Structure 1
Amino acid sequence: MDINVSSEIGHLQGVIVHTPGHEVSLVNPELKDELLFDDIIFEEDAREEHLDMLDVFKAAMPSDGKVIEIVDLFQEVFQQHDARAYFIEQLVKEFPEKNLHVIEKELGKLDPDDLITFVIQGYLKKSKGFTLNPSPNLLFTRDLAAVVGNSIIVSRAAKKARLRESLLMETLVQFHPLFSSVRDNAIRISGQQSIEGGDVLVVSDKLVLIGMSERTSFSGLMKGTEGLLNRGVETVLAVDIPKQRSSMHLDTIFTFANSSECIAFPPAIMEQENNVVALFKDGDAIKSESRSSLKTALEESTGSEFNFIKCGGENRTNQFREQWTDGANIFALAPGIILGYERNTNTFNTLVDNGYDLMTQFEFVEEYSDKDFDPTAEQKIAISFQGHELCRGRGGARCMTMPISRKPLTL
Structure 2
Amino acid sequence: MGADAVSARRESPGAQGPEPDDARLAVTSEVGSLRTVLLHRPGNELRRLTPRNNDQLLFDGIPWVERAQQEHDTFADVLRERGTEVLLLSDLLAETLAVSGAARIQGISAAVDARRLGHALADELAAFLRGVPARELSELLMTGMTFDELPFGPNTTSLVRRMHHGADFVIDPLPNLLFTRDSSFWVGPRVAITSLALPARSRETSLTDLIYAFHPRFLGVRRAYESHTAPIEGGDVLLLSEGVVAVGVGERTSPAGAEALARSLFDDDLAHTVLVLPIAQTRATMHLDTVCTMVDADAVVMYPAVRDSLCAFTIHKEDDYGGRQGSGRVSMRGPDPFLPAAADAMGIGKLRVIDTGLDGVTAEREQWDDGNNTLALAPGVVVAYERNEMTNARLEDAGIEVLRIPGSELGSGRGGPRCLSCPLSRDDV
Please state which band the TM-score falls in when normalised by the shorter chain: 0.7 to 0.9
2:276 corresponds to 1:238: yes
Per-residue CA deviation, residues 376-400 of structure 1 (Å, 9 max, x unaligned), is xxxxx11211111111221100000
Residues 10-89 of structure 1: pairs in structure 2 closer than 5 A: 10-61=32-83, 65-79=84-98, 80-89=100-109
Pick closer, same or farther for the CA change 1:238–1:407 going to 2, 3 Å.
Answer: same
Aligned to 2:25: 3
- Structure-to-structure mapping, 1:366-377, within 5 angstroms: none
Give the distance between the partners of 1:218 and 1:98, measured in 2 at CA: 34
Q: Please point out which of 253, 264, 268 is paired with 1:216.
A: 253
Give the drift of 1:25: 1.7
The Cα shift of 1:91 comes to 3.5
Task: State the Cα distance separating 1:281 from its structure 2 match.
Answer: 2.4
Name whichever of 220-229 and 8-17 sits farther off.
220-229
User: 1:126-137 alignment to 2 at 5 Å?
Assistant: 126-127=151-152, 131-137=170-176
Q: Deviations over 1:30-64 (max 9, x none)?
A: 11010000011001111011101111101112xxx
Asked if 1:120 corresponds to 2:120, the answer is no
2:383 corresponding residue in structure 1 = 339
* Pairing 1:226–2:260 present: no
Distance 2:152 2:62 in 1: 27
Query: How much is the aligned-residue C-alpha RMSD, in angstroms?
Result: 1.7
Q: Name stretches of at least 5 consecutive residues in structure 2 with no aligned partner.
A: 1-22, 154-160, 162-168, 322-327
| Map 1:149-228 → 2, pairs under 5 A | 149-183=188-222, 185-191=223-229, 193-228=230-265
Q: Deviations over 1:149-175 (max 9, x none)?
A: 011110111111111211111112222
For residue 396 of structure 1, what is the aligned residue in structure 2?
416
Q: Quick one: which of 131, 134, 138 aligns to 2:177? A: 138
After superposition, the Cα gap between the structure-2 partners of 1:352 and 1:227, relative to the gap in structure 1 and judged at 3 Å, is same
| TM-score, normalised relative to structure 2 | 0.84
- Residue identity (%): 33
Please say if residues 119 and 164 of structure 1, whose CA atoms lie closer than 8 Å, have aligned partners that are also in contact.
no
**Kept after mapping to 1: 8 A contact 2:110/2:203:** no
* Structure number with larger C-alpha Rg: 2
SS state at 1:350 partner? helix
Please give the alpha-carbon distance, in whole angstroms, between the structure 1 residues aligned to 2:80 and 2:389: 24
C-alpha distance in 2, partners of 1:101/1:196?
32
- Contact 2:241 2:297 (C-alpha < 8 Å) held by counterparts: no
CA distance in 2, matches of 1:212, 1:127: 45
Instruction: Quote the residue 1:306 is aligned against.
Output: 351
Contact 1:90 1:167 in 2 (8 A): yes
TM-score after normalising by structure 1: 0.88
Residues 127 and 222 of structure 1: is their aligned pair in 2 closer, same or farther, counting only changes over 3 Å? farther
Unaligned 5+ segments in structure 1 are: 357-380
| 1:385 aligned to which of 405, 408, 424 | 405
Q: CA deviation at 1:126?
A: 1.6
| Count of residues paired in the alignment | 376
CA deviations on 1:95-146 (whole Å, 9 max, x unpaired) are: 7324434522222222212322222111156246562332111111111101
Letter in 2 for 1:126: P
CA distance in 2 between counterparts of 1:101 and 1:209 reads 44
Distance 2:152 2:94 in 1: 21
What is residue 341 of structure 2 aligned with on the other side?
297
Counterpart residue number, 2:314: 278
Indicate conservation of the 8 Å contact 2:36/2:86, yes or no: yes
- Larger CA deviation: 126-135 vs 208-217: 126-135
Instruction: Give the whole-Å Cα distance in 2 for the aligned partners of 1:186 and 1:106.
Output: 35
Cα distance in 2 for residues equivalent to 1:386 and 1:291: 38
Distance in 2 between residues matched to 1:234 and 1:29, nearest whole Å: 46
1:78 Cα offset (Å): 0.6
Contact 2:112 2:126 in 1 (8 A): yes
* 1:403 aligned counterpart, secondary structure: strand
